[in-house]
Copies of this chain bind each other. A is one copy, B any other.
């Protein structure tokens, strides 16, 4: 079914993106859950996803076939295992944007452990390759207050911000000679405000992990802030004390 570039070019006047086909991939509860799980940026096996989504392995196989052939997931087969992950950063970004637009559905909490997990997830978690949750939003807003980011319809990195990054030892990403690394925003579904993504967001995340400011749970998307991280975030950005602990949730915007 693959169309090579020449065919595509010759027929390009008669092609349309099949939005419905792509959306249909995500229109199923189970498949959507799988994609959300993969938003942690990691690689999962088919079995793990089956258990996570509470469906039979055979059902999972069918879903993965669809998602892979639809181009949303990349797969790698090793031995009797099937490893899948999101196809790429643009896929992750689009998914997060979609999630920001989506309506909210209450999810049942059955135990204290689940409640704690939930709280931690809201406080700080990975969003593919950067920091999301209340911590991510607090970071973005602290950087804005300090003039490192400017709010101009979206977010942009200021000259001061670029300087701050270099001072911190975060290398300028991208081939461009300019002092403007790429900034994207990502609508955070937990706090319903924007946090930092794009190349800068990813660099910041890597930096924080390298310096052990934060640690990622091996099995979930949850991030924990270390003692060193608390110090660093306070000193570098003046993050409020409350933002550094899991009970923190920013106030709702605009009353």
Contacts and interface: CB of A to CB of B under 8 A. Distances in A.
Interface stretch (A163-171, A179-187, A219-227, A231-239): A179-187
Nearest to A11: B106
A158 interface: yes
Nearest to A31: B20
A103 B36 contact: no
B26 A19 contact: yes
A178 B150 CA distance: 8
A94 interface: yes
23 contacts: A5-B252, A13-B122, A14-B109, A15-B106, A15-B107, A17-B100, A17-B102, A18-B102, A18-B103, A19-B26, A20-B33, A23-B26, A23-B32, A23-B98, A26-B27, A71-B103, A93-B97, A94-B94, A97-B97, A150-B176, A152-B175, A152-B180, A153-B181
A230 interface: no
Contacts of A104: 3, 8, 15-18
Contact of A22 (B35, B101, B175, B182): B101
Contacts of A98: 19, 22-23, 94, 98
A59 to B, nearest CB: 15
Interface string A95-136: 101111111111111000001001100100000000000000
A119 to B, nearest CB: 6
Interface string A18-56: 111111111111011101100000000000000000000
Contacts of A211: none
B99 A17 contact: yes
A57 interface: no
A61 interface: no
Interface in A142-171: 150-154, 156, 158
A12 interface: yes
A29 B18 CA distance: 8
